[in-house]
Structure 1
Amino acid sequence: MGYLSLSPNPKKRVDFLRVIQREHDELKEKFLEERAALEAKYQLLYQPLFAKRYEIVNGLAEVEGVAMGTATDTAEEKGVPCFWLVALKNNEVVADVITDRDEEALKYLKDIKYTKMVEPLGFKLEFFFDPNPYFSNTVLTKTYHMLDEDEPLLERAFGTVINWLPEKSLTKIANEKQKNDLKNVEPVIDTPPCESFFNFFDPPEIPENDVDIDEDACYELQDVMERDYDIGSTIRDKIIPHAVVWFTGEAVDGEGDEDDDMYDDLDDGELLVHVLIVRFDFLDSISFAKMAGISIVGFGMKSRR
């Protein structure tokens, strides 16, 4: 059964339904245009509020009832100590990748900013740090390039190369190994990678050329990228606009995100299925769909996971 098997009259009805669908799609396109303009307007209105928050958090401005530079203020007590560290840790998605070692470095985090990009489509997160004993960068950036503005079609993610100070890398653990247990032989320093929030700035690369990829590698890449995007979108949609309620612990997942997420029509699982279908164009789409457990619906693909 289907359109091709219909008799003439039902086909005419379906053709009219197509006209209705086109009218709907035109209205949806207009809605998306107006929403984008409204979002841009209010992003500008938010900026002075975020600037005030920055000044108070970092001790550059004081609130009513508190005198600037009081004798009781130590260097650690100026502003709101560990504001962003605590806000990030109180969110389950982000806290899952923050280690005890990371916390000392994240105490120097003084602001996080979000910028929506038009050319290319996507968004950028900027993490601003005070001078610290771990790395020389003052800003760490994570950028997501999207293939579509209104659907979560991720093309690629880019991160800042972190300039770690000597023996201060938090993404590797230095282990000394003595060769053959011989005396007077310099130990070999082995630095295997380890779990760290700062791995967020070194996202996985999506292969562009013909390569062999088995089912396990496919699932592993999909899982890593889903997790990476989940962290980025959580910081963008929840942490940045509602930082104080994450700091106080008032927010829980599902709350503190009154802003409509531009990608709320699709669940997280769908995002990276599209990524793999788009980027792994060297694979036969049907074979890949079967391998990755994807059901084909119309002209699109949707994860069954």
Structure 2
Amino acid sequence: MGGEKETFDTSDLNASLPAAAAALSAEDRAGLVNALKDKLQSLAGQHADVLETLSPNVRKRVEFLREIQSQHDEIEAKFFEERAALEAKYQKLYEPLYTKRYGIVNGEVEVDGVCDEPASENTVEGKEPDAKGVPDFWLTAMKTNEVLSEEIQERDEAALKYLKDIKWSRIEDPKGFKLDFFFDTNPFFKNSVLTKTYHMVDEDDPILEKAIGFVFCFCRFVLLF
């Protein structure tokens, strides 16, 4: 350290500005960048000034603590690497279960113990005859989820009745994941698959950078959400 003040590389600060800054004028953006540069340099100076107020012995202890933190970060990086490999391993083990679920939900596979009887014999007074699979499975799952239930509006339900499956998959460049929503033929849109992609700033925390929504293809126009 030797009393030298730390500096920050701010050469690519323009590229790091949030998307909202794109709406600013060139002059305003330049002012914002300069303000951020000044703030970063100020923080760097404050950091160095604090260390300079410490006695030599305390400063040595602080330096040693920083080395410990560096070792911790190296171990943590290995943890995240191994965790990613473990998640990938178990994702493959989950896939056969998801395939079975798809078959049962959509009436392509029958489970043991279900009798293949005429609909008239299964009909209870005042009730509809047995349907194939599990009707409205995904709509019901979403509406009974504490988080998703708040997002499902009444106008969404008619379309979600045609939802056949949801698949999650990781993406590497950029880091993140995507959700594929598979729909049966329906009167609302032509797409059989709708995809929602999530780009993460930090996949381990995780911190969302941005989400890319669906493109719905209707008979007369296309809407981007």
In the superposition, the TM-score normalised over structure 2's length comes to 0.69
Q: Percentage identity across aligned positions?
A: 58
Q: Mapping of 1:81-92 within 5 angstroms?
A: 81-92=135-146
**1:103 aligns to 2:157 (yes or no):** yes
Match of 1:50 among 94, 98, 101: 98
Give the aligned partner of residue 43 of structure 2: none
**1:41 aligns to 2:89 (yes or no):** yes
* CA deviation profile, 1:211-255 (whole Å, cap 9, x unmatched): xxxxxxxxxxxxxxxxxxxxxxxxxxxxxxxxxxxxxxxxxxxxx
Match of 2:189 among 135, 140, 158: 135
Runs of 4+ in structure 1 over 6 Å off: 73-76
Give the aligned partner of residue 186 of structure 1: none
Give the aligned partner of residue 166 of structure 2: 112
Cα distance between partner residues in 2 of 1:98 and 1:7? 60
Query: What is the Cα deviation at residue 166 of structure 1?
Result: 5.9
Label 1:122 to 1:35 Cα distance change in 2 as closer, same or farther (>3 A): same
Match of 1:71 among 107, 115, 118: 118
Label 1:166 to 1:104 Cα distance change in 2 as closer, same or farther (>3 A): farther
Cα distance between partner residues in 2 of 1:152 and 1:63? 38
Cα distance between partner residues in 2 of 1:76 and 1:63? 14
**1:93 aligns to 2:141 (yes or no):** no
* CA deviation profile, 1:26-67 (whole Å, cap 9, x unmatched): 111111111010001001110000000000000010111114
Q: Which amino acid aligns with 1:108?
A: Y
Cα distance between partner residues in 2 of 1:76 and 1:146? 44
**1:151 aligns to 2:205 (yes or no):** yes
Cα distance between partner residues in 1 of 2:151 and 2:207? 24
Give the aligned partner of residue 2 of structure 1: 50
Cα distance between partner residues in 2 of 1:54 and 1:75? 22
Label 1:149 to 1:92 Cα distance change in 2 as closer, same or farther (>3 A): closer
Aligned length, in residue pairs: 170
Q: Which amino acid aligns with 2:189?
A: F
Query: What is the Cα deviation at residue 76 of structure 1?
Result: 6.9
Label 1:121 to 1:76 Cα distance change in 2 as closer, same or farther (>3 A): farther
Which deviates more, 126-135 or 98-107?
Answer: 98-107
Cα distance between partner residues in 2 of 1:99 and 1:61? 31
Query: What is the Cα deviation at residue 107 of structure 1?
Result: 0.6
Say if 1:133 and 1:165, in contact at 8 Å, map to a contact too: no
* CA deviation profile, 1:276-295 (whole Å, cap 9, x unmatched): xxxxxxxxxxxxxxxxxxxx
Give the aligned partner of residue 8 of structure 2: none
Say if 1:146 and 1:154, in contact at 8 Å, map to a contact too: yes
Cα distance between partner residues in 1 of 2:147 and 2:202? 24
Q: Which amino acid aligns with 1:24?
A: H
Cα distance between partner residues in 2 of 1:87 and 1:94? 9
Query: What is the Cα deviation at residue 146 of structure 1?
Result: 1.8
Which deviates more, 73-82 or 36-45?
Answer: 73-82
Q: Which amino acid aligns with 1:149?
A: E
* CA deviation profile, 1:119-167 (whole Å, cap 9, x unmatched): 2211000110000111111011100112333233333221221012469
Q: Which amino acid aligns with 1:155?
A: E
Q: Secondary structure at the match of 1:162?
A: strand
Cα distance between partner residues in 2 of 1:35 and 1:95? 30
Cα distance between partner residues in 2 of 1:75 and 1:32? 51
Query: What is the Cα deviation at residue 71 of structure 1?
Result: 1.8
Match of 1:30 among 78, 83, 99: 78
Cα distance between partner residues in 2 of 1:158 and 1:53? 27
Cα distance between partner residues in 2 of 1:31 and 1:122? 18
Q: Secondary structure at the match of 1:2?
A: helix
- Any gaps of 5 or more consecutive residues in structure 1? 172-200, 203-305
In the superposition, the TM-score normalised over structure 1's length comes to 0.52
Q: Secondary structure at the match of 2:216?
A: coil
Q: CA RMSD in A?
A: 2.4
Q: Secondary structure at the match of 1:77?
A: coil
